[in-house]
């Protein structure tokens, strides 16, 4: 496929700067990772509205809550592992419970963090954040969508968790597309089965369908950018029309996209289903693309998984 690749982190930083120019109430916090999360771009333009608190993720989330309580629209960024894991209780008690206007935008989600290894590869953040009342969870599919999502969450009151990846992503949507919150999007139609994917895995799912097409399988692909609240309609429709669903995510198969989709299916329209992603193991060091291959989360791995799944379904 002839995709144009772009850094979602850079798109985030650029959008923050635009928002900062438009709105005085936007403030940004980081915990010593601003050159990686790209919030430093905002800090350079608006130093008085940028608070780099040092290595204090817990304190950062509490400060974010206090700023929000005084009317600020707050963006707080770190790597996914620290923003959600290290500061979970602060996010729970000081942001989600009082329903404060804090947007936690975490970069470096998933195993695709790469060489830093398991300590930095967050594969349970979607589960942690989805479990919090009041928290809404979005995983933008590409950099165009990052821009739309950041603008969207800035326009809404209350807490959001936005998960970005470290690596550049292919632009699968166009610049002028609209972001519709809590709506999945059909990326490719198909009738034999559906892959519901999120984030970086959507492009690999699309590539996998090309492999499977040559083998005579016609696979639908749905991009699920909003994980919570999830688009039940598109899941049930896919179940009815294709009869089998596989989820793919750069996250543990427990408590992530797969679990959310399974909940919808079991309660509404049970069909054979398979969850694909990190299979309850910690990652390891390596290049991000080598890791995707290793864990079967590249196009070949996804095609292999779908092939086995279809065999099972047809039995």
The nearest distance, CB 71 to other proteins, in angstroms, is 7
Nearer to other proteins, 97 or 269 (CB): 97
Evaluate whether 181 touches 226 at the Cβ level (below 8 Å): yes
- By CB under 8 A, which span of 61-69, 108-116, 140-148, 186-194 interacts with other proteins? 61-69
Nearer to other proteins, 51 or 295 (CB): 51
Considering the candidates 22, 24, 45, 57, report the single residue annotated as catalytic: 57
Residue count, binding to other proteins (CB under 8 A)? 30
Q: Would residue 57 show up in a list of annotated catalytic residues for this protein?
A: yes
Pairing of strands 245-252, 169-170: unpaired
Nearer to other proteins, 73 or 242 (CB): 73
Q: Is 70 in the site for other proteins (CB under 8 A)?
A: yes
Q: Is 63 in the site for other proteins (CB under 8 A)?
A: yes
Residue 275 region, left (φ>0) first, then alpha (ψ -120 to 50), else beta? beta
* 233-to-43, 236, 240 alpha-carbon distances in Å: 41, 5, 11
> Which one of residues 58, 134, 182, 285 is an interface residue with other proteins (CB under 8 A)?
58
Question: Exposed (0-12), middle (13-18) or buried (19+): which is 70, by Cβ within 10 Å?
Answer: exposed
The nearest distance, CB 159 to other proteins, in angstroms, is 13
Instruction: Give the angle subtended at the CA of 199 by the CAs of 30 and 49, to the nearest 5°.
Output: 20
φ, ψ dihedrals at 20, nearest 5°:
-60, -35
Closest CA to 139 of 147, 130, 153, 149: 149
Window 75-94: contact mask with other proteins (x via CB under 8 A)? --------------xx-xxx
Evaluate whether 256 touches 263 at the Cβ level (below 8 Å): no
Evaluate whether 62 touches 94 at the Cβ level (below 8 Å): yes
Please give the structure tokens belonging to residue 86. Answer: 């290290």
The nearest distance, CB 125 to other proteins, in angstroms, is 20
Window 154-193: contact mask with other proteins (x via CB under 8 A)? ----------------------------------------
Q: Is 66 in the site for other proteins (CB under 8 A)?
A: yes
Instruction: Give the angle subtended at the CA of 254 by the CAs of 252 and 260, to the nearest 5°.
Output: 110
Q: In sequence order, what are the residues at sequence separation of 6 or more whose Cβ sits closer than 8 angstroms to the Cβ of residue 106?
A: 37, 77, 78, 79, 80, 83, 84, 122, 125, 161, 162, 163, 164
The nearest distance, CB 85 to other proteins, in angstroms, is 15
The nearest distance, CB 45 to other proteins, in angstroms, is 15
Q: Is 200 in the site for other proteins (CB under 8 A)?
A: no
- By CB under 8 A, which span of 13-21, 34-42, 45-53, 170-178 interacts with other proteins? 45-53
> Which one of residues 98, 117, 243, 296 is an interface residue with other proteins (CB under 8 A)?
98
Gap between the Cα atoms of 283 and 261, Å rounded: 23
Instruction: Give the angle subtended at the CA of 229 by the CAs of 37 and 83, to the nearest 5°.
Output: 25
Q: Is 59 in the site for other proteins (CB under 8 A)?
A: yes
Binding site for other proteins (CB under 8 A): 27, 48-49, 51, 53-54, 56, 58-72, 89-90, 92-94, 97-99
Please give the positions annotated as active site. Answer: 57
């Amino acid at each position: 496929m002839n995709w144009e690749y772009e850094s979602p982190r850079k798109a985030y930083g650029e959008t923050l700067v635009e928002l900062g120019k438009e709105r005085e109430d936007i403030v940004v916090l980081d915990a010593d990772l601003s050159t990686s999360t790209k919030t430093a771009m905002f800090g350079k333009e608006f130093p008085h509205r940028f608070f780099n608190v040092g290595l204090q993720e817990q304190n950062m989330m509490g400060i974010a809550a206090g700023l929000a309580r005084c009317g600020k629209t707050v963006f707080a960024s770190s790597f996914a592992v620290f923003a959600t894991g290290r500061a979970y209780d602060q996010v729970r008690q000081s942001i989600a419970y009082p329903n404060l206007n804090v947007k936690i935008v975490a970069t470096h989600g998933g195993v695709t963090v790469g060489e830093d290894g398991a300590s930095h590869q967050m594969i349970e953040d979607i589960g942690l954040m989805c479990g919090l009342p009041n928290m809404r969870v979005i995983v933008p599919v590409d950099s165009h969508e990052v821009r739309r999502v950041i603008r969207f969450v800035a326009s809404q009151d209350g807490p959001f968790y936005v998960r970005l990846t470290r690596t550049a992503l292919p632009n699968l949507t166009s610049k002028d597309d609209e972001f519709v919150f809590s709506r999945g999007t059909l990326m490719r139609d198909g009738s034999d089965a559906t892959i519901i994917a999120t984030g970086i895995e959507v492009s690999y799912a699309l590539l996998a369908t090309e492999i499977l097409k040559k083998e005579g399988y016609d696979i639908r692909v749905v991009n699920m950018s909003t994980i919570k609240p999830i688009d039940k309609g598109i899941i049930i429709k896919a179940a009815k029309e294709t009869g089998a669903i596989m989820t793919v995510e750069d996250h543990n198969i427990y408590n992530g996209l797969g679990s959310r989709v399974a909940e919808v299916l079991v309660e509404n329209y049970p069909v054979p289903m398979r969850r694909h992603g990190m299979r309850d193991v910690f990652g390891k060091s390596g290049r991000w693309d080598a890791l995707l291959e290793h864990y079967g989360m590249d196009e070949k791995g996804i095609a292999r998984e779908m092939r086995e799944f279809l065999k099972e379904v047809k039995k």
